[in-house]
Amino acid sequence: MLTLDVHPTGRHFLQIPGPSPVPDRILRAMSLPTIDHRGPEFGTLGRKVLAGIGQIFRTKHPVAIYPASGTGAWEAALTNTLSAGDHVLMFETGHFASLWKKMADRLGLSTEVLSYEGSDEHLPAAPGWRRGIQADMIEARLRQDTQHRIKAVCVVHNETSTGVTSDIAAVRKAIDAARHPALLVVDSISGLASAPFEHDAWGVDVTVSGSQKGLMLPPGISFNALSPRALEASKTAGLPKSFWAWDEIVDMNKDGYWPYTPNTNLLYGLSESLDMLLGEGLDNVFARHARWAEGVRSAVTAWGLPIQCADPAVYSPVLTGVITPPGVDADAVRRLIHQRFDMSLGTGLGKLKGRMFRIGHLGDSNDLTLLATIAGCEMGLKLSGVKLVGSGVQKAMDFFSSHAAPDTLKKEAA
């Protein structure tokens, strides 16, 4: 029999960039009794979360909510808008962009991937995995496509494997500048509710997201935010779909219900998450993550280690990737930190395996949990024999104490 005989004291530090630590408030909300998903109480809950999630995506149009992980919502975005053999243009920002391409290939789409063409001193094998989307390359490619064979441009907003956030408004401008009718389909699974995102204002046709990153929920629900053009495309899109089909979901959602059983208790959690995020105000939420990210980067810089994101204009507010010195296996460092200090850090994915680790700064967190996170990394790096230039803990303490969080300043004034 498999028994879980180790239960360390104190809280586990879940510092991976999703699933993020879930606030107690949300866990408590989820422990309410499961109700009839066709009953009157459920309709009230359904209508509330559907209205609230629109405010998070900043859209006036429908948002489909699936009882599935983010990967399911990726599939939904493609199968509802495209037909077999359709040509889609993607941009290789990292591991998640590559996985989405693999899915598109498996679904029978014809994929074309653009990637950054420059070089990189720290990661010569994957220079594009340190930078954001180059919108000018997308524009140039679309201008060549005078026959409009490209049906969709699919891009990742916050590349969780690298800690790079791309400029989605620039991608929309590139499509418009080329006067190209392709749909803009965006993965903001880890960007939503942590990094600024504007579904309507940026002219996104489908935004894909998930529950376990910025929304601070456990894994298990995912989203497609839609545009009128995406809904129009879904009427003629030929890829097979049934569970993912938007038409029945959008229709039944008008009254707050679903065609099949939604995950009731996760929706209680979503309702609580919406109260928290909208109560704080989304712009405050974004500023909070940007400040945390800056504090964490100050520590990495003090250690003298390179940050995975090479372009300061597109640093992710959600996570920071840390490149370990040549010869130091980042996964061995992570294992040591887990064993000694009960903290989980993100692994290097795909081309980055063993070369870097990722520090998540999202979900239920504050200055002191982040300082402890940095302390765990610093101890683990030293124990692994990495020569650090200086103390990241000291640097982050200096940063957090000299840059007070806006909400704590408000408290002082009161």
Chain residues that interact with ligand PLP, rule: CB under 6 A: 18, 69-71, 96, 156, 160, 187, 189-190, 210, 213, 219
Residue 156 or 397: the one with the smaller Cβ distance to ligand PLP is 156
CB of 190: closest distance to ligand PLP in angstroms?
3
CB of 63: closest distance to ligand PLP in angstroms?
17
Bridge-based pairing of strands 150-156 and 206-210 is: unpaired
CB of 18: closest distance to ligand PLP in angstroms?
5
Rounded-to-integer distance, Cα 190 and Cα 287, Å:
16
Residue 128 or 380: the one with the smaller Cβ distance to ligand PLP is 128
Contacts of 233 (CB under 8 A, 6+ apart): 80, 81, 82, 183, 205
CB of 186: closest distance to ligand PLP in angstroms?
10
Find the residue with minimal CB distance to ligand PLP.
70
- The CA-atom distances, in angstroms, between 299 and each of 145, 359, 361 are 46, 11, 13
58 appears as a binding residue in the annotation: no
Residue 220 or 259: the one with the smaller Cβ distance to ligand PLP is 220
CB of 194: closest distance to ligand PLP in angstroms?
11
Taking residue 238's Cβ as centre, other Cβ atoms within 10 Å add up to 12
Instruction: Write the single-letter amino acid at 332.
Output: A
Residue 77 or 285: the one with the smaller Cβ distance to ligand PLP is 77
Residue 225 or 302: the one with the smaller Cβ distance to ligand PLP is 225
- Residue at token pair 């591991």: 95
Q: Do 323 and 305 touch, CB atoms closer than 8 A?
A: yes
Residue 89 or 397: the one with the smaller Cβ distance to ligand PLP is 89
CB of 386: closest distance to ligand PLP in angstroms?
27
Residue 86 or 187: the one with the smaller Cβ distance to ligand PLP is 187
Residue 80 or 384: the one with the smaller Cβ distance to ligand PLP is 80
Rounded-to-integer distance, Cα 59 and Cα 199, Å:
6
CB of 69: closest distance to ligand PLP in angstroms?
3
246's tokens = 């938007």
- Residue at token pair 């809950």: 45
Nearest to 360 by CA among 277, 292, 274: 292
- The CA-atom distances, in angstroms, between 194 and each of 191, 216, 291, 317, 412 are 6, 10, 11, 7, 25
Paired strand residues for 89: 112, 153
Largest pairwise CA distance in the chain: 63
Rounded-to-integer distance, Cα 167 and Cα 340, Å:
39
Residue 145 or 167: the one with the smaller Cβ distance to ligand PLP is 167
CB of 12: closest distance to ligand PLP in angstroms?
19
- Residue at token pair 């490149």: 323
Rounded-to-integer distance, Cα 362 and Cα 219, Å:
14
Q: Is the bond leading into 62 cis (omega within 30 degrees of zero)?
A: no
CB of 274: closest distance to ligand PLP in angstroms?
19
Q: Which residue blocks in 183-263 are alpha helix, DSSP H? A: 228-234, 246-253
Rounded-to-integer distance, Cα 371 and Cα 366, Å:
9
Classify 303 as helix, strand or coil: helix
- Pick out the residues of the known binding site for substrate: 358
- Pick out the residues of the known binding site: 358
